[in-house]
Amino acid sequence: MQTIQIQEVGKIKEIKKSIAKITGLSRCLIGQLVRIGEHVQGIVVGFVRGEIIAFLLGKIEEVRVGDRVYSNIEPFKIPAGEGFLGRIVDALAEPMDGKGIIETRDEGRETRDEIVHRPGDRSERSSVIHRRYPVFRRAPGVLQRVPIHRPLETGILTIDATVPIGRGQRELIVGDRMTGKTSICTNTILNQKGRGVVCIYCCIGRTYASLYKIVELLKEKGALEYTIVVAAYAASPGGEQYLVPYTACTLGEYFMDRGRDVFVVFDDLTKHAWAYRQLSLLLERPPGRDAYPGDIFYLHSQLMERAGQYSPEFGGGSMTFFPIVDTLQGDVTGYIPSNLVSMTDGQIYMNTALFNSGFRPAIDLGLSVSRIGNKVQSPAMRELSGMLRLEYVRYKELLKITRFKTSVSEQVTKQLKDGEVLTQFFTQMNNEPYTAEEEIVLLYALRRKVLSVLSTGEIDYFKKNIHGFIGERFPAVAHRLAEKRELTGDLRREIDECFVEFFKEKGMEISGMEMER
């Protein structure tokens, strides 16, 4: 069958920074791509009296008033495919890592890119393989989804134990500058090694240097091969910064539609909102609260909706979002942060004071929540981490009350000591994610009060070495933990034995350890 392409040609009438007014195009869609010269494209964002308004993308300095504009009347699409793994691309999904063009043909077959459908969608012939995906795609409907039920292990003990994340969840990472927000996300990416999760790191309006650091880290740890980096720097045109999260999302949907699990980081949406505000003000759209345009809420919620867990009939894929948002002086009531809090399934709140006091990752457990709850945790994890959050929050309160008291009761002293152990328990080095088994062993040690009898240095030593020790000396126990992730009576006894053996071998004092239950 032959397809007919209708193309219209228009002219640029006016350019204002990265916005162009174009005349002569009588048919256009919002969100459609127009081409201007070889290196520049535009995305249609509005109409006024016979003119269309487009955000310019690419080498915008090459565009002049009077240039011709070519328009194909079809939604804006980008290529997507396996070939993107390990690559760094821009907002138009074009490579910017100098490794050549990205092959996106599925199984070497020529494809028709006009038809895009979701898996299981019976209305289209199933022989159609799609190569190009629309960037502004509708989110999957309710009937295509099932409740989130599988865990996404971040490898960060605090998160996995107290604010567990499920595959398909949207968890906001919120905090001031330099509080370890990006580190939470990069750690999670590193932890997905060998788990078949496709990771996407979307850099919005950040500096080249900060992106470079992340790419180097991913390369060094062998994580780039299952990761796609999608970037629009601070120096990129505003239109690209506006578009880039949707590009990242679309690349993720390719894998999600094929039944894979995807993890996407948006670093960060504050810059995205700034870019959109700048463009809107240039368009003379009426400013609203904090001078943001009124549709900024729609913009972000449209993006957040696209995460989710497909039902088995639709392939069972999932897409998890970690949007990052900056706050000023810890104020989560700002316009953009509070919008995002309301449209995500929980938030991880990073605290500057905690970060500076050396409690890293600086997660404020009092303000962090995951609305998915512990139903995505493994049975062992659920049992061991039950009251952990509450205990920690209570300790923090107690600390505040007793700060100026000179003498406190014995019971309070003990509670404070337990709290200190907990603090140290949650402290974790950057880029050293724990496996789920390691987390269970550590939590078990905490619950058995093994850590309470150790000094600060010893706790660190224990945390670092116990898992390796079990793997080496008691491989059967390690194997059973990895397989079942459930604590049976036998397994408990065996882990206890491992602890005793560990302390004996390392010559550590364990006189106070409560071995009876």
Amino acid identity at 358: G
Helix, strand or coil for residue 485? Answer: coil
Q: In 206-283, where does DSSP find H-type helix?
A: 208-220, 238-256, 269-282
Q: Does 377 bind Mg ion (CB under 5 A)?
A: no
Question: Is the Cβ–Cβ distance between 12 and 69 less than 8 Å?
Answer: yes
- Is the peptide bond prior to 379 cis by the omega test (within 30 degrees of 0)? no
Q: Does 178 bind ligand ATP (CB under 6 A)?
A: yes
Looking at 86-94, 134-142, 173-181, 498-506, which segment touches Mg ion (CB under 5 A)? 173-181
Looking at 19-27, 104-112, 176-184, 364-372, which segment touches ligand ATP (CB under 6 A)? 176-184
In the Cβ-directed half-sphere of 281, how many Cα atoms lie within 13 Å? 13
**Nearer to ligand ATP among residue 188 and residue 247 (C-beta):** 188
Helix, strand or coil for residue 180? Answer: coil
Which among Mg ion, ligand ATP, none contacts residue 65 (Cβ within 5 to 8 A by kind)?
none
- Here the tokens at position 498 are 């491992």
Q: How far is the CB of 219 from Mg ion (least distance, A)?
A: 18
State how far the Cα of 415 lies from the Cα of 398, in Å rounded to an integer: 8
DSSP 218: H
Site for ligand ATP in 29-88 (CB under 6 A): none
Which among Mg ion, ligand ATP, none contacts residue 179 (Cβ within 5 to 8 A by kind)?
ligand ATP
Q: How far is the CB of 162 from ligand ATP (least distance, A)?
A: 16
Among 49, 109, 177, 400, binds ligand ATP (CB under 6 A): 177
DSSP 172: E
Looking at 411-419, 426-434, 448-456, 457-465, which segment touches ligand ATP (CB under 6 A)? 426-434
Which among Mg ion, ligand ATP, none contacts residue 351 (Cβ within 5 to 8 A by kind)?
none
Q: Does 187 bind Mg ion (CB under 5 A)?
A: no
Looking at 10-18, 97-105, 413-421, 423-431, which segment touches ligand ATP (CB under 6 A)? 423-431
Helix, strand or coil for residue 514? Answer: coil
Q: How far is the CB of 265 from ligand ATP (least distance, A)?
A: 11
**Nearer to Mg ion among residue 158 and residue 182 (C-beta):** 182
Q: Does 356 bind ligand ATP (CB under 6 A)?
A: no
State how far the Cα of 114 lies from the Cα of 109, in Å rounded to an integer: 15
| Angle (CA) 238 242 247, round 5° | 130
What count of residues does the chain have? 517
Q: In 122-171, where does DSSP find H-type helix?
A: 157-162
Q: How far is the CB of 217 from ligand ATP (least distance, A)?
A: 10
Q: How far is the CB of 270 from ligand ATP (least distance, A)?
A: 9
- Partnered with residue 75 across adjacent β-strands are 32
Nearest to 345 by CA among 361, 366, 368, 377: 368
Among 21, 118, 181, 485, binds ligand ATP (CB under 6 A): 181
**Nearer to ligand ATP among residue 133 and residue 392 (C-beta):** 392
Among 154, 182, 347, 385, binds ligand ATP (CB under 6 A): 182
The residue sitting closest to Mg ion, measured at its beta carbon, is: 182
State how far the Cα of 472 lies from the Cα of 442, in Å rounded to an integer: 17
Nearest to 384 by CA among 320, 451, 431, 456: 451
Q: How many residues bind Mg ion (CB under 5 A)?
A: 2
State how far the Cα of 509 lies from the Cα of 365, in Å rounded to an integer: 32
Which among Mg ion, ligand ATP, none contacts residue 346 (Cβ within 5 to 8 A by kind)?
none
Nearest to 10 by CA among 29, 24, 21: 24
Among 130, 167, 306, 360, binds ligand ATP (CB under 6 A): 360
Which among Mg ion, ligand ATP, none contacts residue 192 (Cβ within 5 to 8 A by kind)?
none
Q: How many residues bind ligand ATP (CB under 6 A)?
A: 13
Q: Does 182 bind Mg ion (CB under 5 A)?
A: yes
> Counting beta carbons within 10 angstroms of the beta carbon of residue 34, is it exposed (0 to 12), middle (13 to 18) or buried (19 or more)?
buried
Active site residues: 371
Q: Does 327 bind ligand ATP (CB under 6 A)?
A: no
Q: Does 180 bind ligand ATP (CB under 6 A)?
A: yes
CA quadruple 422, 423, 428, 429: dihedral positive or negative? negative
Q: Does 41 bind Mg ion (CB under 5 A)?
A: no
Helix (H), strand (E) at residue 201: strand 197-206
Q: How far is the CB of 180 from Mg ion (least distance, A)?
A: 8
Q: Where on the chain is the footprint of Mg ion (CB under 5 A)?
A: 181-182
Binding site for ligand ATP (CB under 6 A): 175, 177-183, 360-361, 428-430
